[in-house]
Amino acid sequence: MTKLTTLYQHGTLALLVPGLLEGTLTMGDLLQHGDTGIGTGEGLDGELIILDGTPYQVDSDGNVNVVPNSFNMPFANSHLANYSPLAELENLSQADVEEQLISLTQASNTFFSIKITGSFSAVKTRAVKKSTPPFQTLAQTAKKQSIFTRDQVEGTLISYYSPALFDGAAVAGFHNHFLSADKTFGGHLLDFHLDKGHVAYQLFDTLEQHLPVDNRDYMDHDFSVDNIQDDIHEAEG
């Protein structure tokens, strides 16, 4: 049974860099490890956010879809939600929110999740258009993204913080996804301004890293030739 202090991760962001975008885990399998999470579909098919056990996909047209258990992913995170109240924050930019979170949590050398529910005066998200084989690199595929904006929106931000020493397996710092309360808007967060929000926090002492060892392309690839960190940070915005 998954512990409340365990973060489950399938794949790594590094494997996306050379274009290893084939789905290697189903949503049904991912949900065995948690009821909350984020990720992307095969071919970078949109942006995923899992809330209360329901997996939502924001596609490149901006539609919010509930995906089936058969939905395949090359990369995803999930955990069993057991958040504790951390703070009430008001009138802050994304940079200010993240600075406050680092100060409040005092946990920059481990993984943790943040959940913010509240009102946002401005939200900017993106979703990438699904690509098909032969897949291009992460940098090339991520250029085929759609940008969405909405003002004065209620919603939920789910974020995973990864420490710098794990940059590559994940993206160092905060990886934020968003879903509006009415389930009509969301995606990978590029920028936001928080009007007023309740901030909750969950610390992890264990990273359960699952690798796609049955995928021959992954097993045969030489990652030493890839510009992993730079390409990840460019693609993640």
* Fold (CATH) for 6-236: 60s Ribosomal Protein L30; Chain: A; (3.30.1330)
Average pLDDT, the chain: 96
Tokens of 145: 């993204």
Which stretch of DSSP H or E encloses residue 229?
Answer: helix 228-236
Domain boundaries defined on the chain: 6-236
The answer to whether the pTM exceeds 0.85 is yes
Cβ atoms within 10 A of the Cβ of 198, count?
Answer: 14
Query: b/e string for 89-101 if b means 16 or more Cβ within 10 A?
Result: beebebeebbeeb
Give pLDDT tens digits for 24-81.
999 999 999 999 999 999 999 999 999 999 999 999 999 999 999 999 999 999 999 9
Provide mean pLDDT across the span 4-17: 96
Cβ atoms within 10 A of the Cβ of 163, count?
Answer: 16
Cα–Cα nearest to 97, from 189, 180, 167, 186:
189
How does residue 226 score in pLDDT terms, banded at 50, 70 and 90?
Answer: confident
Calculate ∠ Cα 30-139-23, nearest 5°.
25
Tokens of 165: 């020493």
Give pLDDT tens digits for 117-165.
999 999 999 999 999 999 999 999 988 999 999 999 999 999 999 999 9
What integer pLDDT is reported at residue 1 of this predicted model?
62
